[in-house]
Each structure stands twice: as structure tokens, then as C-alpha cells.
Chains A and B, each alone.
Chain A
Amino acid sequence: MPWIDACAADDIEEEDVLRWDHAGRTYALYHGIDGAFFCTDGLCTHEQVHLADGLVMDYVIECPKHNGQFDYRTGKALRAPVCDNLATYPAKEEDGRVLVLIE
């Protein structure tokens, strides 16, 4: 599978998240505090809520609906009411673009 060009790197502020819809699916792209980029499923694993409306704190994304939290680097569920981990996808920055590898 090729890397997919998702957006410009400066479309996402540092310590923030952006919704990215691709091929009928929705994802969340993160610009971490270390400058690196990350990608997870776009919807929370508790209910079908877009994480991109949530809050990024360090390496944590907090869901806007019930404040469940995930580590967006690993997808690990950190705080109830989320119990299931979030799927993650490799992401990187190249020439000012954010690329994502969707299997």
C-alpha cells in the first residue's frame, strides 16, 4: 500500500488534531508536541463521535462527548468510558505534507 498524502503539515497546529476523511472512512491526524505526526481512527471506540472535535493534551486525545482519553501514539484507551483501544496508522511528514499508510 502506498503512503497517502493527507494534508499539509501546517494544516494542523502543534498539539492539535484534524479530521481526515478518505475512501469512505474517517480518521484523525495529530500534530504531536514533538513535531511528529500521528494518525488514528476518526471515531471514538465508546460511541461514534469524531475525535477531531476533542482536545489534545501532550500525547492524549480527549473525546468531546464523555471525555474518554486515548494515547494517540499507540491508540491505548486511558480513561473511562473508553475501554477499547483505538486503531492507529503510520504517519510521517515529507516535504511539508502529512503522509499516512493505510493498510
Chain B
Amino acid sequence: MTPSSDARPESPTGAAHDYSLTGPSSRHAVEAGLVAAEWYHSDVPRKVMKQLMQRSDGPAIRDTLLWVALHIALAVGGIYFWGSWLAAPFWLAYGVIYGSACDSRWHECGHGTAFRTRWMNDVVYHIASFQVMRNPVNWRWSHARHHTDTIIVGRDPEIVWMHPIKLGLKALAYVGIVDAWQSLKTLIRNAGGTLSDDEKDYIPESERPRAIFWARIHVAIYALTALCALVILLSGGGWKAVIPFLLIGGPRIYGCWHMVMMGLLQHGGLAEDVLDHRLNSRTVYINPISRWIYWNMNYHVEHHMFPMVPYHALPALHAVIKDDLPKPDPSIWAAYKDMMQAIMRQRREPGYYLKRDLPETARPYLETLHAAVPERVMA
């Protein structure tokens, strides 16, 4: 992969670093034809795509049973060995199963592609939303926007790498303290009945009462957890009072590192304001354990191009379209090396992004931004 010197020109409005959804960047994105635009898609014959999109309950039921069993077994181990160092590996593993695996479950069930059966998607979606400290309503809508306007500045509420990049904050994300605190504050604000202007920008009015309702449920569970801790403390349990927090809420801090490690790779160092997911998303080959935790979201270009394809079919989709995509990074380590080089350069050179070489078999990157949006049929 060769980093490109093909620097994106700064926005004429000078608004390239305004990531709010209601400010000048948002207006600029609309004027530039970047909003709800037509994106590049690799060619996949309809028959093959139909096969790839097929839903089934089997893989997700298997993975969910294992996920639940791991929660129970690891928590029991952590409590059983409480007071000894032997408890530590149990809690560390529990943290990842709760605080990292929740992200991919939230994501896939939010798309409704994990299970074929709708209620199964919904149940896991709500559990995972709670674990990842995301309001299940707000984030359903923010993620829809992320797919409509992926990394379009002023439109996408889920841009992780905002310029200028603060590396210290990014490093801190691995321990989740800032993020968990912010998420909790948002939930408390929503529970109090307030939605921010950005939230109002992507959540339709009819859905807002539900956003408030679910925020109240989440906050109530955290309050109950704190109450349990207090009871243990007051009844002389000493350090055991920490256990409720290790079980609920805490893993979002001490176990989120895997989610952050993978999440930062999704779009880091790549382009903003383009209409070709090959330019703004990254596919990485990773180890099977991480793939299970992350539910194959390492095939990120594939997922963005075809969000209908369930996680368990992403490796097959990758095999079908890989000749049209930049070569995937061969490992998490290699991907970080590549990404960090680009990030460091972006800090010095605003507008720079990593433009990876395409194989000869691929169609060129989509450089035209003003693609036509079809007329809506008025019945």
C-alpha cells in the first residue's frame, strides 16, 4: 500500500473541522452533493448477492449461547476466586466478552441481519446497547446516518477520528473512562427528557419519546447496581462492593479495549467526504478469536458496501469482491502501522488521506462526487 500525496483540498468554507451536524460543514456537504448520494458498489450478480444476503438464525444462536455461557462462566470464576490473583484473568476475559463483544452484537442486531427472526435481533440489540452504554433508539438512527453519509463531515454522527486528532484522547479510549463517562452523561441527559440538537437532527420526532424511555431504563439499572454495591459495603463486604460494578457497567471501561482497537481501524487515516467505501473504510485480516468477538466486522469495506449481508457471510462476500478492493491489511499490527503513519501525516498535513493502491482487476475509485439521486416516485 502506498500512501498518496493526493491531498483533499480544504473545504472552501474553511469548515473542514466542524463535525457538528447543524453547522457550516453540514451545509457544505449538502451543497457539494455529498448527502444521501449514490455510492460506488462493486459488481455482484444478483443471484450471488441474493445467496449472500440470506438470513438464518443458526450462526447467531450458536454465537449468542456461547456469549451468554461465557458471561456466566467467567463471572462465576471471578467471584469464586475473589481475593486471589486467580480472579484477575476471569475478570479480564469477562470484561472483553461484555465490554467489547457487545459492540458487534449491538451493530449486527441493529442492522437486523444477525438473526432471521426479528425478536431475536431486538432482544440481543437491547442487551448489547445497554452493555455498550448506547441509547438503543439514538444509536439506531445515528448508525443509519453513518451508513447514508459515511465519514461525510457535518453529516455522519459516528466519525471517530476528528481532525485535528488528539492522540492522547485516542489512547485513553482504550480504557474507556472518558467514553463511558460521556455515554453515561448522555444517557442521564436523555433520561431527564433532553435531546441535543445533533440528536434531534437524526432522530425523527416520533421516536424521541422512546429514546427517553430507554435512557430511563438504562439509568435505572445503573442506579440499582450502585445500590447493590452500597448494600454490600454497608453490610461489611469491604472490597466485595466492587463486584456489582465489575459485573455491570465496569466492563465498558476495563474490557472495551478490543472494541476500541478494532473500531479505530474501521476508517482511521482514510478519506473524508468521498462516495466510495474503498476510500474511507478498511478491511483487515484478523485472528479467529478477534473475528468472533468482532463478528467479522473486520470486513468493513464489504459491510459498508452491502449492509444487507449478515456477519457470517462476510468472508464469502469478501471472496467475491476482493479483486475490486484495495488489498486488505494482513494483520491488526500491519493495519495499525499503516493507519498510524497516515494519522501522523494528517496531523501535519490537513486534507491528506491514505489512498491505497487498487489491484489491476479493480474499477477505478469513484472520483465524481455529484452523482445523480433518482427522483422519488410520488404516488
The residue on A at minimum CB distance from B379 is A87
B346 CB to nearest A CB, Å:
29
Chain A residues within an 8 Å CB radius of B373: 48
B residues 176-205 touching A (CB-CB < 8 Å): 204
When the two chains form their complex, are residues B307 and A65 in contact, meaning their CB atoms are under 8 A apart? yes
Q: How big is chain A's contact interface, by range?
A: 20 to 34
The residue on A at minimum CB distance from B148 is A47
Known A16-B50, A48-B36, A81-B141; judge A67-B112 contact (CB<8 A). Answer: yes
A27 CB to nearest B CB, Å:
7
When the two chains form their complex, are residues A66 and B307 in contact, meaning their CB atoms are under 8 A apart? yes
Binds B, one of A1-9, A54-62, A93-101: A54-62
The answer to the question of B111 belonging to the interface, with a C-beta cut-off of 8 Å to chain A, is yes
Known A67-B112, A67-B113, A79-B118; judge A55-B308 contact (CB<8 A). Answer: yes
Pick from A48, A54, A62, A81: contact of B140, CB below 8 A: A81
Chain B 115-156 per-residue mask, 1 if CB under 8 angstroms from chain A, else 0: 010100000000000000000000011001001100000000
Pick from B36, B147, B374: contact of A26, CB below 8 A: B374
State A81–B375 Cα separation when bound (angstroms): 20
When the two chains form their complex, are residues A64 and B306 in contact, meaning their CB atoms are under 8 A apart? yes
Pick from B55, B140, B375, B379: contact of A57, CB below 8 A: B55
When the two chains form their complex, are residues A83 and B141 in contact, meaning their CB atoms are under 8 A apart? no
Pick from B207, B308, B376: contact of A54, CB below 8 A: B308
State A67–B207 Cα separation when bound (angstroms): 17
The answer to the question of B48 belonging to the interface, with a C-beta cut-off of 8 Å to chain A, is no
The residue on B at minimum CB distance from A41 is B377
When the two chains form their complex, are residues A79 and B36 in contact, meaning their CB atoms are under 8 A apart? no
Chain B residues within an 8 Å CB radius of A42: 377
Chain A residues within an 8 Å CB radius of B207: 80
A75 CB to nearest B CB, Å:
9
When the two chains form their complex, are residues A55 and B377 in contact, meaning their CB atoms are under 8 A apart? no
Known A54-B308, A57-B116; judge A81-B376 contact (CB<8 A). Answer: no
When the two chains form their complex, are residues B308 and A62 in contact, meaning their CB atoms are under 8 A apart? yes
Among A27, A42, A48, A79, residue most surrounded by chain B Cβ atoms (within 10 Å): A48
Chain A residues within an 8 Å CB radius of B54: 55
Size of interface on B: residues with Cβ below 8 Å to A: 28
When the two chains form their complex, are residues A48 and B374 in contact, meaning their CB atoms are under 8 A apart? yes
Pick from B141, B307, B374: contact of A67, CB below 8 A: B307
Known A57-B116, A66-B148; judge A41-B204 contact (CB<8 A). Answer: no
B80 CB to nearest A CB, Å:
42
Chain B residues within an 8 Å CB radius of A48: 36, 373-376
State A79–B122 Cα separation when bound (angstroms): 11
The answer to the question of B361 belonging to the interface, with a C-beta cut-off of 8 Å to chain A, is no
When the two chains form their complex, are residues A83 and B374 in contact, meaning their CB atoms are under 8 A apart? no
Pick from B55, B116, B375, B377: contact of A87, CB below 8 A: B377
When the two chains form their complex, are residues A55 and B376 in contact, meaning their CB atoms are under 8 A apart? no
The answer to the question of A29 belonging to the interface, with a C-beta cut-off of 8 Å to chain B, is no
Pick from A27, A57, A69, A81: contact of B377, CB below 8 A: A27
The answer to the question of A43 belonging to the interface, with a C-beta cut-off of 8 Å to chain B, is yes
The answer to the question of A92 belonging to the interface, with a C-beta cut-off of 8 Å to chain B, is no
State A81–B50 Cα separation when bound (angstroms): 22
The residue on B at minimum CB distance from A47 is B36
The residue on B at minimum CB distance from A24 is B375
The answer to the question of A76 belonging to the interface, with a C-beta cut-off of 8 Å to chain B, is no
State A33–B223 Cα separation when bound (angstroms): 49
B residues 273-313 touching A (CB-CB < 8 Å): 306-308
When the two chains form their complex, are residues A43 and B376 in contact, meaning their CB atoms are under 8 A apart? yes
The residue on A at minimum CB distance from B147 is A66
When the two chains form their complex, are residues A55 and B140 in contact, meaning their CB atoms are under 8 A apart? no
The answer to the question of B93 belonging to the interface, with a C-beta cut-off of 8 Å to chain A, is no
Pick from A41, A50, A79: contact of B379, CB below 8 A: A41
Chain A residues within an 8 Å CB radius of B307: 64-67
Q: Could you show 19 A-B contacts with beta carbons less than 8 Å apart? A: A16-B50, A26-B374, A41-B379, A42-B377, A48-B376, A50-B374, A55-B54, A65-B147, A65-B307, A67-B112, A67-B113, A67-B308, A79-B118, A80-B207, A81-B140, A81-B144, A83-B204, A83-B206, A87-B377
* B interface residues with partner A (beta carbon < 8 Å): 36, 49-50, 53-55, 111-113, 116, 118, 140-141, 144, 147-148, 204, 206-207, 306-308, 373-377, 379
* A interface residues with partner B (beta carbon < 8 Å): 16, 24-27, 41-43, 46-48, 50, 53-55, 57, 62, 64-67, 69, 79-81, 83, 87
The 3 A-B pairs with the shortest beta carbon distances in the complex, nearest first, are A87-B379, A55-B53, A66-B144
